Amino acid sequence: MKDPLTLSEFIIQQQAEAEARGDLSQILGAITLASKIVHREINKAGLLDITGSAGQENIQGEDQQKLDLYANEKFKQALAARGNVCGIASEEEEDFVEFCGIENRGIASKYIIAMDPVDGSSNIDVNIPVGTIFSIYKRLSPIDEGVKLADFLQKGCEQVAAGYVIYGSSTMLVYTTGNGVNGFTFDPSIGTFYLSHENMRFPEKGSIYSINEGNSLNFSEGISNYINNCKSHSTLVGKPYKARYVGSFVADFHRNLIKGGIFIYPAYTGAPKGKLRILYECNPMAFLAEQAGGKATDGSNRILDLQPQELHERSPLYIGSAEMVDEAEAIILAADAPEGS
């Protein structure tokens, strides 16, 4: 039986134009290199002083985990070394980081990256899967100038590639360049990612809903109505949905992508604009969701059409099987939509 394609072989096959193939291969090569290092540290988390709080907070006021900072450095080093990335916006960095200072001008640095180095990192101590999320854009500013904030505040529909690495029972890279979604499983004995999930698609009908019901007392009437519907026989599948919420976005998204489902992080009194960040959580996952036949909105607007105003801006997020997103929006808006809308 023929060995499955490696990630590099797949990129060569998929990227028609040589330039894009070279650039994308370079960037994904940097991401997979750093993810192999993060994979190694996560798998030894119980043995190394790599878990727990780093004793400082990020720009979001969230307690940074030691692995957050370690992974952030590894991804920055790997991406800066490739020469075709001129800057990165990271959950762990207050401002964007420029790689292409005039003195560093190497290969034409025409890409920028937005990323969450380790999403859900507080789960590492309890062995729950965590993930890296990344989003790739072409810069807007001239190559012979420094990178600008506007390079990072692009709409999600401008992404040239996006993906995630999930560090779970196996480590997988799942990404899209706009031609479908493909998953690669890491074989640590060889240090290589192999194509294992070709053309990933959300099942038409899902029966899993993922939302933190611990916040229910603060949810709107519409969201409460939706959650009640999930527990009834009025759902799209004629019976109650299954409640699954890991508290790790990449893990919840990945399970729903394979089994069918919807993940919701809504706006509510405790999070007026939701919790997940547009640049490096909502947009990359929304690109993947749409490429896999799913849908991603903020409750009424397409995520990929949102115009971010700042690096760490948040948005409510409804993402997953398209019919389930439509069902949720219809029930929620029936109660929450402003009078006369």
User: Which residues of the shown chain bind ligand P6P in the complex (CB under 6 A)?
Assistant: 119-120, 212, 247-249, 275
Specify the residue for token string 């053309």: 199
Give the end-to-end CA distance of the chain in Å, rounded to a whole number: 59
Distance CA 216, CA 224 (A): 7
| Minimum CB distance to ligand P6P smaller for 119 or for 298 | 119
Contact (CB, 8 A) for 261 and 203:
no
| Minimum CB distance to ligand P6P smaller for 62 or for 221 | 62
| Minimum CB distance to ligand P6P smaller for 24 or for 303 | 303
| Minimum CB distance to ligand P6P smaller for 73 or for 213 | 213
H or E segment and range at residue 294: strand 294-297
Q: Report in angstroms how near the CB of residue 101 gets to ligand P6P at its nearest.
A: 31
Q: Report in angstroms how near the CB of residue 86 gets to ligand P6P at its nearest.
A: 27
Q: Report in angstroms how near the CB of residue 248 gets to ligand P6P at its nearest.
A: 5
Distance CA 169, CA 42 (A): 12
Tokens for 169?
A: 């029972």
| Minimum CB distance to ligand P6P smaller for 11 or for 251 | 251
Distance CA 138, CA 45 (A): 35
Q: Report in angstroms how near the CB of residue 317 gets to ligand P6P at its nearest.
A: 9
Q: Report in angstroms how near the CB of residue 103 gets to ligand P6P at its nearest.
A: 36
| Minimum CB distance to ligand P6P smaller for 226 or for 249 | 249
Contact (CB, 8 A) for 44 and 61:
no
The DSSP string of 131-167 is: EEEEEEEE--S-TTS---HHHHS--GGG-SEEEEEEE
Tokens for 61?
A: 């006021």
Q: Report in angstroms how near the CB of residue 274 gets to ligand P6P at its nearest.
A: 10
Describe the crossing of helices 322-336 and 221-230 by its angle, rounded to 10 degrees.
140
